Amino acid sequence: MISFISSIILLLIGYFLYSRLIERIFGANENNQTPAYRSTDGVDYVPMKWGKVFLIQFLNIAGLGPIFGAVAGAMWGPVAFLWIVLGNIFAGAVHDYLSGMISVRRNGASISEIVGEWMGNGVKQFMRGFTLILMLLVGAVFVTGPAAILNGILDIGIPAWGALVFIYYILATMLPIDKLIGRIYPLFGFALIFMAVGIFWGLLANNYVIPEVFPYGFTNMHHEPEKYPVWPLVFITIACGAISGFHATQSPLMARCIENEKLGRRVFYGAMVTEGIVALIWAAAGMAYFGGVDQLNTIMTEHKGNAAWVVNEISNSLLGKLGGDLALLGVVAVPITSGDTAFRSARLIVADFLHLDQKSIKNRMMIVIPLFIIGFLLTQFDFAIIWRYMAWSNQTLATVVLWTITLYLASTTKWYYLLTLIPALFMTAVISTYILVAPEGLQLPYTLSVILGIAFSISAGALFFFKKRLAKQ
């Protein structure tokens, strides 16, 4: 319990102290006019109060990640706490804040455009395609999943529910952000936070034994430690709550709505810290509720890694009927709210690429119709294989964004770039090692993959300093 409570306290300290340092480095200025006012169009550029923007940002980035990912990550033991705390404060929250604020300074530009500005036109073209495909895949996957859940509540057929979800996605993608998303997201965001607080209180009130970081530390408590090593799998499995590239695709949505640059710390850094706390709570619940990490591994194996069953069981037990209903609402609402903003982000990526103004409904339709035709076609495929690449793709995007932020800071400050360079090097080693050793990757021997992954990271760092030196000459 001490490690769990300490982890939450450290996240809060990170927000109140480290976030201020990052804000000062960026140079947030309340006198600067934000895109919400500079480019108001009543559709995407809409000024909204910071509390509403915070809840929308939180729900945009949260998805199922801080719940399902944290439960799955808990199978490795208390090392999950270490990664969530350190990854969140020094990597994920910094990644979210700076990518969001750079977007604010670039009039709400999509992340692919920001990456291209600092990493070159070739990388920009690649990132346009990469992020667009990622958004369409996320959107399509989050049609079939919620449809299946909803059909379990009211059996009208998965295709019928899928059609209804699709209709909602079209509306959420097309309508002004304050008309639908701005009204229902805060409610869903509050429900998600309420559920996490309820689980937290349930753990305390029932005196559950939560494993401590010490003496376990980085000990691999997975039931198949040889098959599932801590490095790099924990850092891929737990994304939301620690660091997630998907967040960088969502932050520009709120960069177009924030009223003051000084509010960016609350919205971007604050939402990520909140997500980290949610992830900590669910990781702790996973480790404690069934009697320990070993028991969690047994349960997850019996249910074929179905974290949804674990979440349902814990929610119904600790929260009662009302809590169980809220949990079900969350399990349905969270993927839907990830899916609709994924499609909306896809629209904005295309609009930025084509320089197509989105104030006109005709221009929005020109983009939306092809996107949803592609999205519908994607729902007809089996995503079992494709989805295996999604976690890696997500962390790869996070790594690219970290390098972009590092280049941005290197051009404007003396040494502050080191604060993002270290996480960038770390994540480079993670994604390199994973794709080398993973079944869906090159399937190289583990030791060789680790060595090559670290070597690749060192090489990336050397290239960075070489180019930085050339830039000074």
Domain coordinates of the chain in residue numbers?
A: 2-389
C-alpha closest to that of 448 among 13, 300, 456? 456
What is the per-residue pLDDT for 381?
Answer: 66
What is the per-residue pLDDT for 68?
Answer: 84
Report, as an integer, the average pLDDT of 294-312.
Answer: 85
Report, as an integer, the average pLDDT of 302-307.
Answer: 80
More confident residue, 389 or 43: 43
Q: What pTM was estimated for this model as a whole?
A: 0.91
Rg (CA), the chain: 21
Reported residue count of the chain is: 473
pLDDT tens for each residue of 174-193: 888 777 777 877 777 777 78
Task: Write the CB contacts of 185 (distance below 8 Å, at least 6 apart in sequence).
Answer: 55, 56, 59, 60, 337
C-alpha closest to that of 60 among 341, 280, 274, 298? 341
**Domain 2-389 has what CATH class?**
mainly alpha
C-alpha closest to that of 22 among 395, 400, 398, 409? 409
Across the chain, mean pLDDT equals 88
Half-sphere exposure of 233 (CA within 13 A, CB side): 22
Ordered DSSP codes for 374-396: HHHHHTTS--TTGGGGHHHHHHH
Report, as an integer, the average pLDDT of 401-409.
Answer: 95
DSSP annotation of 40 reads: -
Share of the chain above pLDDT 90, in %: 50
- Amino acid code (one letter) for 188: F
Q: In the structure, what pLDDT confidence band is assigned to residue 62 with cuts at 50, 70 and 90? A: confident
Cα–Cα distance measured from residue 160 to residue 151, given in angstroms and rounded to the nearest whole number: 9
DSSP annotation of 228 reads: S
Greatest mean pLDDT among 247-256, 298-307, 462-471: 247-256
SS3 7: helix
pLDDT tens for each residue of 91-136: 999 999 999 999 999 999 999 999 999 888 888 888 888 888 888 8
What is the per-residue pLDDT for 53?
Answer: 93
pLDDT tens for each residue of 5-20: 999 999 999 999 999 9
Q: Is 342 left (phi over 0), alpha (psi -120 to 50) or beta?
A: alpha
Cα–Cα distance measured from residue 257 to residue 52, given in angstroms and rounded to the nearest whole number: 10
Q: In the structure, what pLDDT confidence band is assigned to residue 388 with cuts at 50, 70 and 90? A: low
